[in-house]
Amino acid sequence: MTERPFQDSDYPPIPPTVTGPAGKCPRCGQGTIFNGFLTLRDECEVCGLDLTFADTADGPAFFVMLAASVPVLGFALWMVLSVEASYWLTALLTLPLLVLFCVLPLRAVKGWLVASQYYYRAREGSIDHRP
């Protein structure tokens, strides 16, 4: 049985998988958390949640590169070993795939990590032992 890690009397808990990839506020689910493509707002324009607590650092880039490298490397190896394509042609076809698979999911993954930090009360240097 999973407990609800975060409870707020004014707002019901919203799972990070719902608000995060959509870039919505983890508390109210209405406002956006992004100013630009990856720049976080200081606060939610709807409920006023202070978003300065969120520090995803290199997490989104790490997870996206980890997931994107396997299919792109598989494609590149297939091009070189099976099709016997030249290295320049392999690079020409592989680089756009790498950019596509690495850049597009960054916003959704960063939103998910920010929402997870709020939902699970993750703070730097502290552990919340309360039920």
The domain ranges of the chain are 16-117
- Is 0.85 topped by the overall pTM? no
CA max distance for the chain: 62
Over its length of 131 residues, how does the chain's per-residue pLDDT go in tens digits? 344 455 566 788 899 999 999 999 999 999 999 999 999 999 999 999 999 988 889 999 999 999 999 999 999 999 999 999 999 999 999 999 999 999 999 999 999 999 999 998 887 766 666 66
Q: Is residue 118 within 8 Å of residue 26, measured between CB atoms?
A: yes
| β-pair partners for 24 | 32
